[in-house]
Amino acid sequence: MVEAITATYVQQDADWAITVSGHGKELTARAPGIIAARDRADQLVEELGGEGRNTVVHLINGSALDFTSTYMTARLTLPKLPPLEVPPPGSVPKQQTAEKAVEKPAVEKKPALPTGKQLPKAVEEPKPVAEPAPEVESKAPAKPARA
């Protein structure tokens, strides 16, 4: 019979305490945030071992639904970013003006390519066309056409 492994999560301030129990053993750990706690629980399950694939039940306050809700909310919530500043049309953002000022003095010439790697000139003078050689007459008689 397959024994389920239980991972219990308890929030302690900003951290989470994790207790993983199964196969007659119990392991504990702490992690900063529910996502890191879930990853740490997977590591603890691997440490417990067991034959084949283990079934793990994740619980917060004794409820798998509470864990799933908390975990998915954390996974799907976007990080809070400062609002994007859009410059008025025609103006140059401060970063670009500073970058251009730095780029101007640092003008570098490209190194010359090796002879075999150089591209041909765009326009070359046409070469004179050699006159075709006169045809040499063959002394062998022509073969008659087959009917």
Listed ranges 22-26, 90-94, 114-118, 130-134; the one with the highest mean pLDDT: 22-26
Q: How many CB atoms lie within 10 A of CB 95?
A: 8
Q: Which residue has the higher pLDDT, 27 or 111?
A: 27
Give residue for tokens 């010359």.
112
Report if residue 67 sits inside a domain.
yes
Report if residue 22 sits inside a domain.
yes
Residue pLDDT, tens place only, 39-64: 999 999 988 887 777 889 999 999 99
Report if residue 136 sits inside a domain.
no
Report if residue 121 sits inside a domain.
no
CATH assignment at residue 58: 3.30.420
pTM for this entry: 0.53
Cβ–Cβ under 8 Å, residues 7 and 20 = yes
Report if residue 20 sits inside a domain.
yes
- Which of 50, 12, 44, 11 is closest to 28 using CA atoms? 44
Overall domain count for the chain: 1
Residue 21's pLDDT is what? 93
Report if residue 50 sits inside a domain.
yes
User: Alpha helices, DSSP H only, in the chain?
Assistant: 34-48, 64-76, 94-103
Beta carbons within 8 Å of 17's beta carbon, 6+ residues apart:
9, 10, 11, 28, 29, 30
Residue 127's pLDDT is what? 67
Residue 130 has pLDDT above 80, yes or no: no
Report if residue 57 sits inside a domain.
yes
Token pair, residue 46, equals: 């691997």
Name 7's bridge partners.
20, 58
What range defines the domain where residue 51 resides? Answer: 5-76
Report if residue 133 sits inside a domain.
no
Residue 102 has pLDDT above 70, yes or no: no
* Chain centroid to CA 109: 33
